[in-house]
Amino acid sequence: MDADSPLLFALIGVGVYLTRVVPLMLALRRGEDDQGLDEVDEAPSAMDGWLGFVGPSVIAALLVAAVLPEPGQDLWLELARTGAALVPTVAVAVRFENLGLTVLIGIFAYGLASVVI
């Protein structure tokens, strides 16, 4: 481990912390400012409609990046591994509705599928 590694880890930690706290503080401040106003129905802006697509778009991009194999790997083999891991992951997600457990089972199932397939 280099001498610069602790500094790098600290900077990354500060960056992650700020990306979480700053939006939260801005949202809380905006909520306080809105409480003093009378309740008036405002027409939704065009941006509000588009922002609803951000989450599914990010998930789709991550899914495509995770499923597509690296150059030199077999596409069908990678799809078989992903499909085999998907079944127990979805079953746990539906049964327990616990994101942490679902992620752990998904990682374990993919690892097991990588060894078996």
pLDDT at 45: 64
**In a 10 Å sphere around its CB, with 0-12 CB exposed, 13-18 middle and 19+ buried, how is residue 48 labelled?**
exposed
Helices 75-96 + 99-116 axis angle, to 10 = 150
Cα torsion 103, 104, 106, 112 to 10°: value is: 160
pLDDT at 35: 56
Select from 82, 50, 77, 80 the least CA-distant residue to 64: 82
pLDDT at 26: 82
pLDDT at 94: 92
| Alpha-carbon distance values, 21 to 14, 17, 53, 76 (Å) | 10, 6, 23, 42
pLDDT at 9: 86
pLDDT at 32: 66
- Tens-digit pLDDT string for the chain (117 aa): 677 788 888 888 888 888 888 888 888 887 766 555 555 555 566 666 666 777 777 777 777 777 777 777 888 888 898 899 999 999 999 999 888 898 899 989 999 998 998
Domains of the chain, by residue range, sit at 1-37, 69-117
- The dihedrals phi and psi of 98, each to the nearest 5 degrees, come to -125, 115
